[in-house]
Structures are given as structure tokens and as C-alpha cells.
């Protein structure tokens, strides 16, 4: 007899189940919102930046002779010349110097168009002088206009001519800065972590050092810029805007990241390993050097890569030490004025011409793909070599 018992949940229970579903929906919604933003963000960057990877090129006959070396605009047909990027004309004397046999000859080349023509063809702007529009239409019908891969984006330095601006000097600057960051923060960070994890007595001082490191990891990055400006540049006289000054400043920011992850990697090595080594006569340092460090190396390297990737995207402290200078040529030493990828992106973002918007987004895509590669390497390293005990 099941008459007295209702199989339907009571009204109150139904309300509680509804509340349950609602709560779960909020949670799922929060996650979906974050992922939706991520998708929106990446598609926006691709939408804005993809067009900067290709560039309008115009086929034209280039004449090299005494006159055109001086008045370089005359090296191509008078009607086409206004459509061709100034960067090409500037390169003519250099071309002839490099290969004197060019003198007195004519060759057919694909030349980079000006940013105005490029933007017009990509339909970002409709402002182009009517004369140039008609020349462009004529050339298009003759098949003398096409898109080519924008090599200059990767091979040339910054430029005030948007069609000639590239990331090369920023790549070189980033490389130098990261070299300094690695050389300074890796040894000091790993040494600090070994000290804290393996040697330090548990006293007030050690706790203070630990709290201090945790705090440093959360200090606003711009304050590190103030430190770099006051200590490295004004006190120690490191050249302003140099890769050395930037690298030293970023090293101090990367230090806590490396320390924290190295400590976690050392802690993951079981105590048995140390005791085993010491039981057969190894000293404390020998046990660490020969057993603990090799076993924790994947974890240490993972943390280091993540720290370097973070430093590579950092801009704010570099603004204060002057690394937003206009750097058309790649630096050749640590003490020369340099720029880095995020700083170059910041500089381009502040340029008034429309063409720089696509360039900025393209620079962002390049930076993001570098960072994602680095982080993916770190994750793969961790998954492949990490030992579970």
C-alpha cells in the first residue's frame, strides 16, 4: 500500500532543487563567460592584426643611373612613384653601392606600396587621392598589384614609415634582455630556493625572508621600474634605455617566481633520497648537488620558463627606465639603447596613423604566439619529465 507516501518531491524540495540548478548555472556561467572573453579577445586580435602580415606590392621597372641615385623618386615611372613606399627609394643608393654593376641597368621588381595604398586596398580607409586611385586601378587591371608576405615585419626595425616598420630590433632587444634576466635570476633564484628549502633553520629570519619573497611576487611591477630608475640608472650609472638596465630590473621581478617554483620542485623530492645519499657518506651539499637537484631539474626549468615568459610580456617598469625609445636599428650590445616586443607594441599603439593599428595587433599576435610556445614548452617539460613519488 503506497497510498500515504507521495512519490512526488514536496514543494519545498522542488524549490531547493531549483536553487541547486540555479547555483550550478551561475558557476558554469562564470566559467563560460571567461572562456567567451578569451575567444572574443583572440578573434578580435586576429581580425585586427591578420592584414599586417600581408602587404600590397606593386610591380614596376626600376632604373639605376647617375640621376636616379641622387633623385631616387625618378627611378620608377612618374605615375607609379607616389604609390611606392619611401623606404624603397631610400634604399636605392645602398643597393647600387652593394652591387655597382646595377648602374645603368633597369630591372623589374615588386615594390612595397605606401601605407595609404595598402590601407585603401585592404578597405580600411577610402582616403586616397583620385589620381592615385586611378593609377592603382590601371595597375590592378594589368596584374601589376598583388599581396605579398610582409617580410619586413620580421626583418626590419622600427620605422616612422608604417609600411617599413618591423619587429626585428625588438626581437634583438628582447633576446638581450632575456639573456640578462636568465643570467641573473636563475642562479640567484635557485640558490635562494636551495638555501630556504634545504639549509635554512626555521627561525624568525627565515620566515621573514619567505614572507618577503611572497610579497615581492605581488608588488606592483611599476615600483620595480622606480627601483631600476633610482638604483640601477641614477646610482650605478647603467645606461638609460639599455638592455642591461631593463634586464636587471626584470630580473628582480622574475626572482620570486623562480624561487617559489624551485622550492616546490625541491620539496617534491622525497626525504628518502637525501637520507639515502647521506647514509652512504655524502655531505649535505653533495646529496643536494648529485641527487636532489638532478631530480628536481624539470620542475626548476618549468618555473624558470614561466618566469621568463612573464618577464617577456612586462612593459610598465621598462617605460620608466626609458625603453620606449625609437629604435630603428637592432642594438649590438647590452649597453646600447634597446626596445623589447611589448614596448614596441606600446609605441605602435600610440601612433596616430591607421596602419599602425594593424601593425600593433600583428605585433601582439607575434608576442602571444611566442609566449604560448614558451608556456607550452614548460607544460610539456613538466608532463614528460616530472616524476611522481
Partner 1 sequence: MDTSQTLLVFFGGLVPMAAVAFALGRRKALLSDARGARMHSLPGQYGVYVATWMALPALAIGVVAACAVLIGVRVPSAPFVLSFALFGAAVGLAMALRRVEPTLRARNAIEKFVYWTLFAASLVSILTTFGIIISILFEALKFFNQVSVWDFVTGTNWSPVATFRPGQDAADSQFGSVPLFAGTFMITAIAMSVAIPVGLFAAIYMSEYASYRIRTFAKPLLEILAGIPTVVYGFFAAITVSPLVVDVAAFFGLNASYTNALAPGLVMGIMIIPFISSLSDDVINAIPNSLREGAYALGATKSETIKQIVLPAAFPGIMAASLLGVSRALGETMIVVMAAGLRPNLTWNPLEDMTTVTVRIVDALTGDQSFDSPETLAAFALGLVLFVVTLTLNLISIIVIRKFRQSYE
CA distance 221 to 252: 10
What residues between 337 and 366 interact with partner 1 by CB under 8 A?
342-343, 345-346, 349, 357, 360-361, 364
Which residue in the set 1, 5, 7, 27 belongs to the binding site for partner 1 (CB under 8 A)?
27
Distances (CA, A) of 266 to 193, 196, 258, 276, 371: 8, 10, 12, 16, 26
Shortest distance (Å) from residue 305 CB to partner 1: 12
Put residue 200 in one of left, alpha, beta given phi > 0 → left and psi -120 to 50 → alpha: beta
**Look-up of cell digits 567567451:** 36
Per rule CB under 8 A, is residue 183 in the interface with partner 1?
Answer: no
Q: How far apart are CA 310 and CA 365, in angstroms?
A: 16
| DSSP 8-class letter at 284 | H
Closest by Cα among 364, 367, 373, 374 to 46: 364
Query: What does the per-residue mask of binding to partner 1 show for 195-234, with x meaning CB under 8 A?
Result: xx--xx-------xx-xxxxxx-xxxxxxxxxx-xxx--x
Q: Tell me if 45 contacts partner 1 by CB under 8 A.
A: yes
Cell numbers that stand for 319 in this block:
617605460
CB of 98 to partner 1, least distance (A): 31
Quick one: 114 or 310, whose CB is closer to partner 1?
310
Burial of 98: CB neighbours in 10 Å, binned 0-12, 13-18, 19+: exposed
Identified binder of partner 1 from the candidate list 4, 8, 10, 26, rule CB under 8 A = 26
Q: Which residue from 111, 315, 330, 366 is in contact with partner 1, where contact means CB under 8 A?
A: 315
Query: Does position 16 bind partner 1 by CB under 8 A?
Result: yes
Q: For the chain, list the strands marked E by DSSP.
A: 54-63, 106-112, 145-149
Among 66, 101, 130, 235, binds partner 1 (CB under 8 A): 235
33 binds partner 1 per the rule CB under 8 A: yes
The reply to whether 46 sits near partner 1 by the rule CB under 8 A is: no
Q: Which of residues 265-284 bind partner 1 (CB under 8 A)?
A: 283-284
Cα–Cα distance, 291 to 199 (Å, whole number): 16
For 367, residues 6+ apart whose C-beta sits below 8 A from its C-beta are 312, 313, 341, 342, 345
Point out which span in 74-82, 98-106, 194-202, 268-276 binds partner 1 (CB under 8 A): 194-202
- Cα distances from 31 to residues 73, 170, 232, 334, in angstroms, run 58, 36, 43, 44
Out of 54, 273, 351, 368, which residue is the one contacting partner 1 (CB under 8 A)?
A: 368
Q: How far is the CB of 99 from partner 1 (least distance, A)?
A: 35
Name the one residue in this structure whose C-alpha cell is 648602374: 103
Residues 314/323, Cβ–Cβ less than 8 Å: no
Closest approach of partner 1 to the CB of residue 279, in Å: 17
State yes or no: residue 194 binds partner 1 (CB under 8 A): yes
Q: 32 is written with which cell numbers? A: 563560460
Residue 60: CB minimum distance to partner 1, A: 34
Q: Which of 9, 14, 20, 267 binds partner 1 (CB under 8 A)?
A: 20
Least Cβ distance, residue 319 to partner 1 (angstroms): 5
Q: Is 75 one of the binding residues for partner 1 (CB under 8 A)?
A: no
Q: Of 58 and 194, which has the nearer Cβ to partner 1?
A: 194
Q: Which stretch binds partner 1 (CB under 8 A): 39-47, 85-93, 97-105, 161-169?
A: 39-47
Separation in Å, CA 123 to CA 126, 355, 356: 7, 12, 15
Amino acid at each position: 500500500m503506497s497510498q500515504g507516501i507521495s512519490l512526488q518531491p514536496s514543494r519545498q524540495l522542488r524549490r531547493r532543487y531549483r536553487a541547486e540548478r540555479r547555483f550550478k548555472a551561475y558557476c558554469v556561467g562564470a566559467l563560460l563567460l571567461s572562456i567567451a572573453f578569451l575567444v572574443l579577445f583572440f578573434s578580435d586580435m586576429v581580425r585586427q592584426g591578420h592584414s599586417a602580415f600581408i602587404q600590397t606590392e606593386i610591380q614596376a621597372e626600376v632604373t639605376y643611373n647617375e640621376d636616379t641615385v641622387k633623385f631616387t623618386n625618378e627611378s620608377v615611372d612618374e605615375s607609379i612613384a607616389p604609390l611606392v613606399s619611401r623606404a624603397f627609394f631610400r634604399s636605392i643608393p645602398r643597393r647600387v653601392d652593394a652591387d655597382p654593376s646595377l648602374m645603368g641597368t633597369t630591372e623589374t621588381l615588386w615594390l612595397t606600396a605606401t601605407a595609404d595604398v595598402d590601407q585603401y586596398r585592404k578597405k580600411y580607409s577610402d582616403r586616397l587621392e583620385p589620381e592615385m586611385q586611378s593609377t592603382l586601378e590601371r595597375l590592378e587591371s594589368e596584374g601589376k598589384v598583388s599581396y605579398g608576405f610582409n617580410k619586413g615585419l620580421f626583418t626590419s626595425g622600427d620605422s616612422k614609415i608604417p609600411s617599413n616598420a618591423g619587429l626585428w630590433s625588438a626581437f634583438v632587444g628582447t633576446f638581450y634582455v632575456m639573456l640578462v634576466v636568465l643570467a641573473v635570476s636563475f642562479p640567484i633564484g635557485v640558490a635562494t630556493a636551495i638555501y630556504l628549502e634545504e639549509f635554512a633553520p626555521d627561525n624568525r629570519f627565515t620566515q621573514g625572508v619567505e614572507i618577503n619573497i611572497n610579497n615581492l611576487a605581488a608588488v606592483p611591477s611599476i615600483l620595480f621600474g622606480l627601483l631600476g630608475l633610482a638604483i640601477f640608472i641614477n646610482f650605478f650609472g647603467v645606461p638609460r634605455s639599455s638592455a642591461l638596465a631593463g634586464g636587471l630590473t626584470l630580473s628582480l621581478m622574475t626572482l620570486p617566481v623562480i624561487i617559489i617554483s624551485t622550492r616546490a620542485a625541491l620539496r617534491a623530492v622525497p626525504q628518502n633520497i637525501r637520507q639515502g645519499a647521506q647514509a652512504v657518506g655524502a655531505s649535505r651539499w653533495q646529496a643536494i648537488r648529485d641527487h636532489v637537484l638532478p631530480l628536481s631539474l624539470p620542475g626548476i626549468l618549468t618555473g624558470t620558463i614561466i618566469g621568463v615568459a612573464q618577464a617577456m610580456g612586462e612593459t610598465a617598469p621598462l617605460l620608466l627606465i626609458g625603453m620606449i625609445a625609437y629604435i630603428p636599428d637592432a642594438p649590438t650590445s647590452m649597453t646600447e639603447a634597446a626596445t623589447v616586443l611589448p614596448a614596441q607594441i606600446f609605441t605602435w599603439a600610440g601612433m596616430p596613423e591607421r596602419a599602425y593599428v594593424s601593425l600593433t595587433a600583428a605585433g601582439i599576435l607575434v608576442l602571444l604566439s611566442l609566449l604560448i610556445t614558451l608556456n607550452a614548452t614548460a607544460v610539456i617539460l613538466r608532463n614528460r619529465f616530472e616524476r611522481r613519488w
